């Protein structure tokens, strides 16, 4: 896969169907409720840190960022 246009239309249709079927179902947000997630980030990347913290929050976990040094 070198370009999104390389994907067959059937793959796009299946992905769209799954997305629409999911709708506003929020059950996945409790997947990690009550768990802690340690993020060990070696490079200072605000975008990566925030993305991982948001993902943990959406799953119900608490993220703690650990930075060496």
Which stretches within the chain are classed as H helix? Answer: 9-22, 46-58
pLDDT digits (tens, 9 = 90+) for 24-43: 666 666 778 889 989 888 88
pTM passes above 0.75? no
Q: Is 48 or 2 the better-scoring residue by pLDDT?
A: 48
Q: Is 50 or 26 the better-scoring residue by pLDDT?
A: 50
Distance (Å, whole) CA 44 – CA 25: 34
Distance (Å, whole) CA 53 – CA 13: 31
Instruction: Decide: 67 and 39 in contact? Cβ < 8 Å.
Output: no
Q: What is the pLDDT of residue 24?
A: 66
Instruction: Decide: 39 and 64 in contact? Cβ < 8 Å.
Output: yes
Q: What is the pLDDT of residue 26?
A: 63
């Amino acid at each position: 896969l070198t370009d999104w246009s390389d994907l067959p239309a059937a793959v796009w249709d299946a992905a769209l169907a799954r997305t629409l079927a999911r709708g506003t179902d929020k059950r996945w947000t409790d997947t990690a409720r009550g768990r802690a997630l340690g993020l060990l980030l070696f490079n200072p990347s605000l975008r990566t840190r925030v993305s991982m913290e948001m993902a943990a929050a959406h799953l119900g976990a608490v993220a703690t960022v650990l930075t060496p040094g």
